Amino acid sequence: MPYNEANGKSCTRRLTFCAGHRVWGHESKCANIHGHNYVVKIEAEAEIGLDAIGRVVDFSVLKERVGGWIEHFWDHGFIGHREDWQVRGAVESIPGQKHYWLPYNPTAENMAAYLLEVICPQVLQGTGAVVQRVVIGETENCEASAWF
């Protein structure tokens, strides 16, 4: 295999945010409205090759673009399933309440997949970086991943 300077190289940016959610239809306490101090890890690889100084992408780009999206849409808001009409009605009845409705339950697995498949390709377009893995931790003991 020919040498490629980008082979086997990635960079990971850790981001944090706070948000409320509920897992619609959950069999236990996560069916209740509650919140987490989320930790997100965004792992990117170079689309073509490392940049002129040997990076996949500058860490600040991941922070500004992915972290900026998270801050704008999810941080200190409520994340819910768009078909969870009970919670949706309650949340939307609060004037100015920040909310984001996903097309599926806001589990850590689904949130990681949404960032990986929908948001990262949009916000990182033109940077030369492609996100290959997203890890979301809800607590110190529980995290979920999505990857290509």
Catalytic residues: 30, 76, 138
How far apart, in whole angstroms, are the C-alpha atoms of residue 66 and residue 141?
Answer: 24
In degrees, rounded to 5, the angle at the alpha carbon of residue 111 between the alpha carbons of residues 25 and 100 is 80
How far apart, in whole angstroms, are the C-alpha atoms of residue 83 and residue 86?
Answer: 9
C-beta contacts of 87-90 below 8 A and 24+ residues apart:
87/22, 87/24, 87/33
